[in-house]
């Protein structure tokens, strides 16, 4: 492997963008799921306790 | 205390991780010098290598949770296992994507059967399959035991897969993804590595809580009467 | 040891009684070999080149049927619970079933060899070595396969889950078995067969040990 690869910035940006989208998207999904579960648990313990 | 703990630690970890990742990425993109042969494409390494380290770390943590669960039969290890496997699959998928984006300008093809990336692809299928298994098993105990067993078998398989792919590939081509990064580039790499580490640690902690809350409602659903007392001992207490 | 032999005997007896199904699974394997040749085209050079791959892919696909079927009978009338009540250890049950599954798969593999010879013009004089590779490869398939078949037989989506779980796991078997078989068919000037066969053997050893350790937890109540 020799020679210089000129440019290629679109690939660099694609890679960083993919990283941001995947990690950000997954983080958002975890947060959303956590909020849903927490609210559901709060609503349920308001009506009937389990512990 | 009825609900799972509400501490701010996971969100703090995620925030710190995100900040570190931004700093490291900016450094790698804007400040660090371009590499001699690969020019600017090399900058992908500043996210690719940290993702690789962390994907392996997350799946190793999943393996540890699986072993601990089989020994302790404690639900908190199953909750952590679920979270860690999901995080590991996400990171591994990201790794394959980054690898393909790196390979195209470098080798001219999207996939060059590099042993590490190929092993990662196999791991995506292996651990993704275990997540699918969890979706189809209704009995929580069986689901926990089986995913722990499957996780141990899959993880033990990883070195064998890596070795066999490496050998299989070496007979066909001499290309390999460069692993070494010279000293000038260490700092952005380290910062990003810790950034992703904090990020996934925080996300796994949060995701564990999600699993714990879901499990609680599954094995001890709320009773209609307002004065009902505790039912299942295993569901109470800290489950993350 | 006697528990293992008794379990083995039980599984061989069950296989003998269900031998019609084994023939059907062989027919399925042979049909896939035929389909592969249609997919590649009537190019005898290409077919011969990749014959080993087709054989092992066909065997892998057939194994999902064979392994799933090995636990079907245990699920009927709650036979599995009955077995576990016996004083035999779960480990003996596992090894008995895994050995029986390995034997069945090896038989199907050996039966597919003439099909491969005819369809792809891909034969070898080193038949004993070929049989050895088939036995080692099917051993690597049947150990994790039996473990996962025990799990998935008790789930809702058993037909999809078993291949989904098994296929990524047995990638080393596929790589090594295809390579070894290819060397036998196309020639092995650099004596590379032994290392590939050793890889198959090492994989089998690891999987059989793991399976024996973990099976008890998989079938417990």
Supply the DSSP string of B104-130, one letter for each residue: HHHHSSS----HHHHHHHHHHHHHHHH
Q: Cα torsion for B61, B159, B116, B55, to the nearest 10°?
A: 0
Report pLDDT digits (tens) over B1-19. 333 445 788 888 888 888 8
What CATH number does residue B85 fall under? 1.20.120
The number of folded domains in chain B is 1
* Rounded mean pLDDT, C45-66: 95
Identify whether the C-beta of residue B222 lies closer than 8 Å to the C-beta of residue A49: yes
Chains A vs B: touching, with 3+ CB pairs under 8 Å? yes
Q: Does B209 reside within a domain?
A: yes
Q: Do C169 and B154 touch (CB under 8 A)?
A: yes
Mutual orientation of helices B140-170 and B75-107 as an angle, nearest 10°?
Answer: 30
Q: Does B222 reside within a domain?
A: no
Q: Please provide the average confidence, as pLDDT, over all residues in chain C.
A: 91
Output C1-7 pairs: Cβ under 8 A, ≥24 positions apart: C3/C87, C3/C88, C3/C89, C3/C92, C3/C93, C4/C92, C4/C95, C4/C96, C5/C96, C6/C88, C6/C92, C6/C96, C7/C88, C7/C92, C7/C93, C7/C95, C7/C96, C7/C97
Q: Does B228 reside within a domain?
A: no
Q: Do B145 and C218 touch (CB under 8 A)?
A: yes
Report pLDDT digits (tens) over B50-107. 999 999 999 999 999 999 999 999 999 999 999 999 999 999 999 999 999 998 888 8
Residue B99's domain comprises 4-31+40-173+184-215
CA B9/CA C113 separation, integer angstroms: 61
Chain C interface mutation, best of B67, B121, B129, highest count of C Cβ atoms under 10 Å: B129
Residue with tokens 């599984």: C11
Q: Do B150 and C154 touch (CB under 8 A)?
A: no
DSSP letters spanning C35-91: HHHHHH-S-HHHHHHHHHHHHHHHHHHHHHHHHHHHHHHHHGGGHHHHHHHSSS-HH
- Work out the pLDDT band at A6, boundaries 50, 70, 90: low
Number of H helices, E strands in chain A: 1, 0
Identify whether the C-beta of residue C203 lies closer than 8 Å to the C-beta of residue C136: no
ipTM over 0.85: yes
Identify whether the C-beta of residue C181 lies closer than 8 Å to the C-beta of residue C52: yes
Q: Does B90 reside within a domain?
A: yes
Query: Which chain A residues are closer than 8 Å to B105 by Cβ?
Result: 5, 8, 11
Residue C195 pLDDT > 90, yes or no?
yes
Residue C206 pLDDT > 70, yes or no?
yes
Q: Does B63 reside within a domain?
A: yes
Q: Beta partners for B35?
A: B39
Query: Which chain A residues are closer than 8 Å to B14 by Cβ?
Result: 27
Which of B182-186, C19-23, C127-131, C205-209 has the weakest average pLDDT?
A: B182-186
Which of A21-35, B7-21, B91-105, C78-92 has the weakest average pLDDT?
A: C78-92
Report pLDDT digits (tens) over C102-132. 999 999 999 999 999 999 998 888 999 999 9
Nearest-CA distance from A5 to chain B in Å?
Answer: 5
CA B158/CA C172 separation, integer angstroms: 10
CA C164/CA B192 separation, integer angstroms: 34
Q: Do B153 and C161 touch (CB under 8 A)?
A: no
The answer to whether A43 faces chain B, any CB pair under 8 Å, is: no
Q: Does B240 reside within a domain?
A: no
Q: What are phi and psi of B176, to 5 degrees?
A: -150, 150
Identify whether the C-beta of residue C97 lies closer than 8 Å to the C-beta of residue C38: no
Instruction: Write down the pLDDT at residue B17.
Output: 85
| Nearest neighbour of B165 by CB, restricted to C152, C168, C175 | C175
- Which chains reach chain A with 3 or more Cβ–Cβ distances below 8 angstroms? B
| Nearest neighbour of B37 by CB, restricted to A1, A14, A26 | A1
* Rounded mean pLDDT, A2-23: 81
Burial of A5 (0-12, 13-18, 19+ CB in 10 A): middle
Neighbours of C119 (CB within 10 A): 20
Output B95-98 pairs: Cβ under 8 A, ≥24 positions apart: B95/B48, B95/B51, B95/B52, B95/B55, B95/B120, B96/B120, B96/B121, B96/B124, B97/A15, B97/A18, B97/A22, B98/A15, B98/A18, B98/A19, B98/B44, B98/B47, B98/B48, B98/B51
Instruction: Write down the pLDDT at residue B133.
Output: 95
CA A18/CA B93 separation, integer angstroms: 11
Q: Do A12 and B44 touch (CB under 8 A)?
A: yes
Neighbours of B111 (CB within 10 A): 14
* Rounded mean pLDDT, C80-88: 74
Q: Does B168 reside within a domain?
A: yes
How far apart, in Å, are the Cα atoms of C57 and each of C99, C141, C187? 21, 12, 21
Query: Which chain B residues are closer than 8 Å to A49 by Cβ?
Result: 2, 222-223, 226-229
Nearest-CA distance from A23 to chain B in Å?
Answer: 8
Q: Do A8 and B25 touch (CB under 8 A)?
A: no
Q: Do C199 and B161 touch (CB under 8 A)?
A: no
Q: Do B210 and A34 touch (CB under 8 A)?
A: yes
Report pLDDT digits (tens) over B109-153. 899 888 999 999 999 999 999 999 999 999 999 999 999 999 999
Q: Does B232 reside within a domain?
A: no
The answer to whether A9 faces chain B, any CB pair under 8 Å, is: yes
Q: Do C175 and B123 touch (CB under 8 A)?
A: no
Q: Do B146 and C214 touch (CB under 8 A)?
A: no
Output A30-35 pairs: Cβ under 8 A, ≥24 positions apart: A30/B203, A30/B206, A30/B207, A30/B210, A31/B206, A33/B207, A33/B210, A34/B206, A34/B207, A34/B209, A34/B210
């Amino acid at each position: 492997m020799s020679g210089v690869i000129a440019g290629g910035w679109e690939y660099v940006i694609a890679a960083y963008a993919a990283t941001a989208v995947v990690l950000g998207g997954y983080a958002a999904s975890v947060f959303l799921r956590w909020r849903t579960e927490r609210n559901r648990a709060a609503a349920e313990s308001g009506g009937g306790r389990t512990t | 205390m009825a609900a799972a703990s509400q501490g701010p630690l996971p969100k703090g970890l995620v925030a710190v991780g995100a900040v570190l990742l931004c700093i490291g990425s900016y450094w790698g993109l804007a400040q660090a010098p371009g590499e001699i042969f690969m020019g600017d494409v090399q900058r992908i390494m500043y996210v690719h290598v940290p993702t690789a380290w962390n994907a392996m770390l997350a799946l190793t943590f999943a393996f540890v949770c699986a072993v601990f669960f089989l020994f302790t039969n404690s639900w908190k290890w199953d909750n952590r296992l679920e979270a860690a496997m999901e995080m590991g699959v996400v990171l591994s998928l990201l790794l394959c994507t980054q690898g393909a984006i790196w390979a195209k300008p470098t080798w001219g093809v999207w996939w060059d059967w590099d042993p590490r990336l190929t092993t990662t692809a196999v791991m995506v299928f292996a651990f993704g399959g275990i997540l699918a298994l969890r979706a189809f098993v209704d009995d929580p105990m069986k689901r926990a035991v089986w995913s722990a067993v499957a996780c141990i078998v899959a993880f033990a398989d990883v070195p064998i897969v890596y070795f066999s792919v490496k050998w299989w590939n070496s007979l066909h081509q001499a290309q390999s993804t460069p692993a070494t990064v010279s000293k000038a580039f260490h700092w952005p790499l380290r910062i990003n590595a810790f950034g992703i580490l904090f990020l996934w640690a925080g996300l796994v902690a949060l995701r564990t809580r999600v699993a714990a809350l879901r499990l609680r409602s599954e094995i001890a659903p709320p009773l209609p009467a307002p004065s009902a007392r505790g039912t299942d001992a295993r569901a109470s207490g800290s489950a993350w | 040891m006697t528990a293992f032999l008794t379990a083995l005997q039980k599984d061989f007896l069950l296989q003998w009684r269900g031998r019609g199904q084994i023939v059907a699974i062989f027919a399925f394997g042979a049909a896939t070999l035929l389909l592969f040749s249609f997919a590649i085209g009537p190019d005898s050079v290409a077919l011969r080149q990749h014959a080993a791959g087709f054989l092992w892919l066909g065997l892998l696909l057939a194994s999902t049927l064979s392994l799933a079927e090995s636990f079907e009978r245990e699920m009927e009338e709650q036979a599995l619970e009955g077995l576990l009540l016996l004083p035999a250890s779960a480990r003996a049950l596992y090894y008995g079933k895994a050995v029986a599954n390995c034997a069945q798969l090896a038989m199907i593999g050996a039966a597919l060899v003439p099909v491969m010879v005819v369809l792809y013009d891909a034969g070898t004089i080193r038949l004993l070595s070929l049989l050895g590779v088939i036995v080692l490869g099917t051993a690597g398939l049947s150990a994790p396969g039996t473990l996962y078949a025990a799990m998935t037989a008790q789930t809702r989506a058993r037909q999809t889950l078993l291949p989904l779980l098994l296929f990524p796991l047995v990638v080393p078997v596929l790589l090594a078995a295809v390579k070894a078989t290819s060397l036998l068919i196309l020639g092995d000037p650099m004596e590379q067969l032994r290392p590939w066969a050793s890889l198959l053997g090492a994989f089998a050893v690891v999987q059989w040990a793991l399976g024996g350790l973990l099976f008890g937890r998989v079938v417990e109540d």
